[in-house]
């Protein structure tokens, strides 16, 4: 039922996208602007790091993590954005990467957002990060830590969960902020880990099948509720729950569900000097149930249907204690160490970092991780130095 509704919404969204004039407000004139601002906003973010680990065989699985001893290009991201016309805003994020000396380009995100649908509705279409929780939609250059959370990497893979699709959201006409978000996206490819893609050829011993989209049941669906309250003029809370449903590749009808809750609280006095001081608290917890299908293996063993469940969380806090300086701590726990095998042991990790912002357009970060996993004798110590720059259009500050 839920799936059919979301599918219908996605079709509706696509139609709205094709015939915007039907739904646009009356009397919108094309924006009058100088020739200069007709150009899209262009910016380039560069994110580099130097890393060292106490054990070369460490546990950094994120594709944008500092994941080797020595230097890493974590992310080089070209962003183009601008209003397309009075009805749409367009945004594209292209990633340039380096792997073993080879350069590559990736379409991280490229999507349209409607500007003027009635009833607080908004449709987004294209290739985009699934709006699950707080961390998944964030680009690496705005992460508060040098590496991705364990639980996000575990559930959504090294690149985060993103795929082509369509999203419909509504801001409800209530006295407080309540947003409902639903999306339908493709479930295959490297950026849909936990669904039709597995990082290895097998999952819990079962081979991963090539599974095409037969019907609407083979897409990936998100339902999210997000709310926000201003507890005072200087304290704001944002909370949400996210639910994902999608197919996985261990059988013809097997599916994966991921549920999550997230909380964010920020304190910043009204009289903050250039944005300082401030304190934030953020936490997310997720639980996945992965239904693995029946499989007859080549050696004659038969694996029966089985559902694997695992969960984990992170909590983190940032303290902007003096202008340009931010200290952070993070604690994470998950009941798996290896994204391909949820049955492996318990892992916890504690991180602390210190970031210096010479200006809004650059940062230098020092981070230490203490990484403890049940299936290892010794914990892993990791130290990262990260540096980032932004050139071009002033980035928007999201809350």
Partner 1 sequence: MRPIFLFASFLLTLQIARPVEAAPVNVVTTTEDLAAIAKEVGGERVEVESLAKGVQDPHFIEAKPSFMLKLSRADLFVQVGLELEQAWVGPLLLGGRNGKIQSGAPGFVDASRGITALEVPAEPIDRSAGDVHLQGNPHIWLDPMNGKQIARNIAEGLKRVDPKGAAEYDRNLADFSTRIDAALSRWQERMKPFEGAKVITYHNSWPYFLKRFGLVAAGYIEPKPGIPSSTSHMREVIALIPREQVKVILMEPYFSDQAPKFLAEKTGAKVVPLPPSVSASAGINDYFDLFDLLTNRLAEALR
Sites of contact with partner 1 (CB under 8 A): 24-25, 27-33, 83, 86, 89, 113-118, 120-122, 171, 173, 176-177, 179, 226, 228-230, 233, 236, 238, 266, 268, 270-275, 323-324, 359-361, 391, 394-399
Minimal distance, residue 262 CB to partner 1, in Å: 14
Minimal distance, residue 202 CB to partner 1, in Å: 42
In the beta sheet, which residues pair with residue 256? Answer: 246, 290
Provide the phi-psi class of 126: left if phi over 0, else alpha when psi is between -120 and 50, else beta. Answer: left
Minimal distance, residue 222 CB to partner 1, in Å: 18
Tell me whether residue 114 or residue 254 sits nearer to partner 1 (CB atom).
114
Minimal distance, residue 130 CB to partner 1, in Å: 18
Report, in angstroms and rounded to the nearest whole number, the Rg of the chain calculated over CA atoms. Answer: 22
Residue with structure tokens 């649908």?
Answer: 117
Minimal distance, residue 390 CB to partner 1, in Å: 9
Tell me whether residue 252 or residue 358 sits nearer to partner 1 (CB atom).
358
3-state secondary structure of 216: helix
Tell me whether residue 69 or residue 394 sits nearer to partner 1 (CB atom).
394
Distance, CA of 152 to CA of 259 (rounded, Å): 12
> What are the phi and psi torsion angles at 189 (to 5°)?
95, 165
Cα torsion at 166, 313, 151, 243 (round to 10°)? -20
Minimal distance, residue 368 CB to partner 1, in Å: 27
Minimal distance, residue 285 CB to partner 1, in Å: 21
Minimal distance, residue 79 CB to partner 1, in Å: 13
Residue with structure tokens 């690496």?
Answer: 140
Minimal distance, residue 286 CB to partner 1, in Å: 22
Distance, CA of 390 to CA of 395 (rounded, Å): 8
Alpha-carbon 2 to chain mean position: 23
Tell me whether residue 96 or residue 276 sits nearer to partner 1 (CB atom).
276
In the beta sheet, which residues pair with residue 392? Answer: 43
Tell me whether residue 181 or residue 196 sits nearer to partner 1 (CB atom).
181
- 221: tokens are 């669906």
Tell me whether residue 116 or residue 352 sits nearer to partner 1 (CB atom).
116
In the chain, the N- to C-terminal Cα span, in Å, equals: 34
The secondary structure of 228-276 as a DSSP string is EEESSSSEEEEEEEEEEEEE-TTSSS-EEEEEEEEEEEEE--TT-BTTB
Q: Collect all residues with Cβ–Cβ distance below 8 Å to 98 and sequence separation of at least 6.
A: 73, 104
Tell me whether residue 117 or residue 150 sits nearer to partner 1 (CB atom).
117
Distance, CA of 51 to CA of 49 (rounded, Å): 6
The secondary structure of 143-168 as a DSSP string is -SSSS--HHHHHHH-TT-SEEEEEEE
Q: What is the β-pairing status of strands 255-267 and 278-292?
A: antiparallel
Minimal distance, residue 16 CB to partner 1, in Å: 13
Tell me whether residue 5 or residue 272 sits nearer to partner 1 (CB atom).
272
Q: How many CB atoms lie within 10 A of CB 26?
A: 4
Tell me whether residue 172 or residue 309 sits nearer to partner 1 (CB atom).
172
Please, what sign has the CA dihedral across residues 148, 153, 158, 162?
negative
Tell me whether residue 68 or residue 324 sits nearer to partner 1 (CB atom).
324
């Amino acid at each position: 039922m839920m799936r059919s509704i979301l599918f219908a919404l996605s079709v509706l969204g696509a139609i709205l996208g094709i015939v915007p004039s039907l739904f646009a407000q009356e009397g919108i004139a094309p924006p009058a602007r100088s020739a200069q601002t007709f150009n899209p906003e262009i910016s380039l973010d560069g994110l580099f790091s130097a890393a060292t680990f106490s054990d070369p065989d460490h546990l950094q699985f994120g594709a944008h993590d500092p994941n080797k001893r020595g230097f890493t290009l974590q992310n080089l991201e070209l962003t183009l954005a601008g209003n397309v016309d009075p009805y749409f805003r367009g945004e594209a994020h292209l990633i340039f990467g380096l792997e073993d000396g080879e350069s590559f380009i990736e379409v991280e995100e490229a999507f349209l957002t409607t500007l003027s649908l009635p009833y607080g509705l908004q449709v987004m279409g294209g290739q985009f990060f699934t709006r699950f929780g707080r961390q998944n939609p964030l680009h690496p250059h705005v992460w508060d830590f040098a590496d991705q959370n364990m639980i996000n990497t575990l559930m959504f893979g090294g690149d985060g969960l993103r795929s082509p699709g369509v999203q419909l959201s509504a801001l409800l006409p209530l006295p407080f902020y309540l947003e409902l978000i639903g999306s339908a996206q493709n479930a295959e490819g490297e950026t849909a880990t936990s669904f039709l893609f597995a990082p290895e050829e097998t999952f819990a011993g079962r081979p991963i099948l090539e599974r095409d989209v037969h019907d609407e049941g083979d897409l990936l669906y998100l339902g999210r509720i997000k709310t926000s309250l201003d507890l005072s003029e200087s304290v704001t809370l944002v909370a949400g729950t996210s639910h994902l449903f999608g197919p996985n590749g261990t059988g013809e009808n097997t599916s994966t569900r991921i549920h999550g809750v997230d909380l964010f609280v920020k304190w910043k006095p009204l009289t903050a000097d250039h944005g300082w001081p401030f304190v934030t608290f953020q936490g997310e917890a997720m639980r996945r149930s992965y239904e693995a299908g029946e499989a007859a293996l080549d050696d004659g063993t038969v694996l029966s249907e089985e559902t694997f469940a695992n969960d984990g969380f992170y909590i983190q806090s940032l303290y902007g204690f003096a202008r340009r300086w931010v200290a952070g701590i993070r604690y994470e726990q998950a009941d798996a160490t290896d994204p391909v095998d949820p049955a492996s042991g318990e892992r916890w990790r504690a991180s602390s970092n210190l970031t210096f912002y010479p200006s809004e357009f650059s940062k230098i970060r020092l981070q230490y991780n203490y990484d403890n996993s049940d299936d290892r004798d010794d914990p892993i110590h990791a130290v990262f130095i990260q540096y980032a720059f932004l050139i071009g259009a002033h980035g928007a500050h999201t809350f």
